[in-house]
Structure 1
Amino acid sequence: MPDADDLVLRDLLASLAEEAGAIALDFQRRGMRTWTKAGASPVTEADIAVDRFLKERLGAARPDFGWLSEETADNPSRLDRREVFIVDPIDGTRAFAAGLPDWTISVAAVRDGRPVAAALAEPVAGRTFIAARGHGASVAGRPLAVKGRETIDGAVVAGPKPMTVKVERHGAVALPKIHSLALRFAKVAASEIDGGFAGGQSHDWDLAAADLLVHEAGASLTGLDGTAPCYNRPVPTHFPLVCAGFPLHELLRRAAAEDRRRGVTT
C-alpha cells in the first residue's frame, strides 16, 4: 500500500539531489583534484564534497535511517536499520572528471530491502527523475510510463558489450556506453531507450534509485534469473542485470542468459 511519508521522502531527496548537482557542476566548471582509490576507480574532490553534503543533510532530516554510500566507509550498523539511505554522490565519475554530460546524483530511501523513494539528478541536462513507491515516477514533471515492446528486433539497448552482443544477435541496436549506470536504467523508465544491462559487481548505490524509477514506470529490473535486487545486505553487490518494459524484458533476459558455446541458458 502506498505510504504518504514516501512522498515526503521523495521530495526531500529531490531537493537535496538538485542542490548536490549544483555543487558538482561548480567543481566541474572550475576544476578539481582527481585520484584513484581501491580497485583503480577514480574519485574527485566533488565526490567527497557531495557525499558529505548529502550525509549531513539527510542525517539531520532522518537521524534514525542507516547510511550506505560509495564514498563513505561502510558501517555495519546499517544492517540493523529497517530504513537506510543509499547514495552515489556522483554516478559516472569517469564521465564527470572528463567533462562529459552522462553522470548523475543518485539518492534512494530503502525500506526492508526495497527502494520506496528516489531522486536521480542529471545536472548537465537540468532535469531530475523522481519516484515514490505506489505513487509513480516522473522527470521534469512528466509522468513516466514505459510502452510495451514485443520484439528484440530493432530494440535500442545500452550496457556492457559482453551482454549487448548477445541481444544484437537477435536484432537489437546497441548504443555507445552510458557512463552512469543509474542514468542508463532511468532512460529505460523515460522510454528514451528500450533496454539496459549491468554487468556483474554493480553496487546498491548504482541501482537503488533507478530501480524504483523503472518499476514505478511500469518496467522491470531483475537479474538474469528474473529475481528483483534486494538492497542493504552485508555485501551490497549484484550479479548481471537486465532492465526493460514488458514483454521485452523477458525476451532480453533470455537472450542475455544464452551461452552459445554450450547451447544452453544460464
Structure 2
Amino acid sequence: MPASDTRANREDMDLIARAARAGGEIALSYFRKDPRRWTKENDSPVSEADLAVDRHLAEALQAARPDYGWLSEETADDSSRLAARRSFVVDPIDGTRGFLAGSGEWTVAIAVVEDGRPVAAALFRPVGNDLYTATLGKGATLNGREVAVSGQPVLSGASVAGPKSITGQGPMMRTGISHAGYVPSLALRLALVAEGRIDAAVVRENACDWDLAAADLLVQEAGGRLEDLDGRALAYNRASVRHPALVAGPPALAAPLRPILAQLLTNP
C-alpha cells in the first residue's frame, strides 16, 4: 500500500473518530428524554436525535473532505457519491429502536470507503464511552487498545449473537452454540465480535451499507471475516446499498456457520 494511502487512511480515521464522539454527545442530549419520533416508509423508527446527529456529521465531514461522497441512512441518497474516489458511509444512530427504548446498546458508525471497501472506521458507543477504530492494514482498537477476534476453534461452545429466530433454531442449537443475545445496534453486534467478547454473529438479509461498513473493517482488522453465504466479502458504495444474509467471526467459525444459516433461511 502506498505510504500516502496509509497516511490518508490514518488522517481519515482521526477525523471520523472525532466526528463520531461529537455525534454521540449530540445524541446523548436527547437520550431518555422522549425525543420526537416517527416511522419511515420501511417501518423503521427515526427520531429528531437521528436527524440532529446526521446534520452535524454532514456539515463537519463534508466541510473537511468536500471531494468525498456521502451516504447516510438519514440523508436522501445522491448518486453523485458513485463517482467519488472516497465516500463517507454513516449511520448517525445505529440501533434507533434501542435508543428510543432507553437501551445503551446504540452507536454512531462512520466509515470511509474506497473502491468498494472500508479503509477507515470509527464506531462510538456513547453509553459506556467506548470508541472502536480501525484503519486498513493497521489493526483494530477499542479505546486505544488493540483487539482481536475470539480464538474459539469450533462451533460447539461458541457464543453466537443474532436474532433468536435464527440462533435458537434446531440446526444452530445442534451445533452446541450458545445464544449470545440480540444487540439492537447491528454495528455494535459486529464490533463485539471484533473485540472477542462474543465468538460470532449472524445477520439477516437486507442490512445496509451504513449498518455494516465501519464494523466490517473492525472485524477484518481484528483477524475475522464478515462475509455472505458464499464466503464473499462485501462491496460498499454501490448503486444498491442492501446486502444478503451474512456471518461474522474468525474464519474457523464463519465457514461452518454459512451453510447452517443458508439452510435456515431456505427452510425457515
Give TM-score scaled by structure 1 length. Answer: 0.95
8 Å contact 2:120–2:134 — kept in the other structure? yes
Deviations 1:22-47 (Å, cap 9, x if unpaired)?
11011114331111111111000000
Q: CA deviation at 1:79?
A: 0.9
Q: CA deviation at 1:175?
A: 2.5
8 Å contact 1:150–1:246 — kept in the other structure? no
What's the counterpart of residue 234 of structure 1? 239
Structure 1 runs, 4 residues or longer, greater than 4 Å off: 259-262
What's the counterpart of residue 4 of structure 1? 7
Partner secondary structure for residue 53 of structure 2: helix
Give TM-score scaled by structure 2 length. Answer: 0.94
Partner secondary structure for residue 152 of structure 2: coil
> Does structure 1 residue 81 correspond to structure 2 residue 91?
no
1:205 to 203, 210, 222: 210
Unaligned runs of 5+ in 1: none
8 Å contact 1:148–1:248 — kept in the other structure? no
Partner secondary structure for residue 251 of structure 2: coil
Q: CA deviation at 1:254?
A: 2.6
Deviations 1:188-243 (Å, cap 9, x if unpaired)?
00001001111010000000000000000000000011011100111100000000
Q: CA RMSD in A?
A: 1.5
Q: 1:169 to 1:46 in 2, by over 3 A?
A: same
Name the CA distance, whole Å, in 2 between partners of 1:260 and 1:122.
Answer: 31
What's the counterpart of residue 191 of structure 1? 196
Partner secondary structure for residue 129 of structure 1: strand
Name the CA distance, whole Å, in 1 between partners of 2:181 and 2:264.
Answer: 23
8 Å contact 1:152–1:167 — kept in the other structure? no
What's the counterpart of residue 249 of structure 1? 254
> Does structure 1 residue 31 correspond to structure 2 residue 18?
no
8 Å contact 2:32–2:100 — kept in the other structure? no
Q: Which has the higher strand share?
A: 1
Partner secondary structure for residue 16 of structure 2: helix
Q: 1:261 to 1:232 in 2, by over 3 A?
A: closer
Q: 1:58 to 1:152 in 2, by over 3 A?
A: same
Partner secondary structure for residue 121 of structure 1: strand
Deviations 1:8-34 (Å, cap 9, x if unpaired)?
111111111011101101111433111
What's the counterpart of residue 41 of structure 1? 44
Q: CA deviation at 1:4?
A: 1.4
8 Å contact 1:144–1:217 — kept in the other structure? yes
Structure 2 counterparts to residues 1-266 of structure 1, below 5 A: 1=1, 3-164=6-167, 165=169, 166-258=171-263
Q: CA deviation at 1:169?
A: 2.1
2:103 corresponds to which letter in structure 1? L
Q: CA deviation at 1:150?
A: 1.6
Partner secondary structure for residue 42 of structure 2: helix
Name the CA distance, whole Å, in 1 between partners of 2:264 and 2:226.
Answer: 21
Unaligned runs of 5+ in 2: none
How many residue pairs are counted as aligned between the two chains?
A: 262
Alignment identity in percent?
50
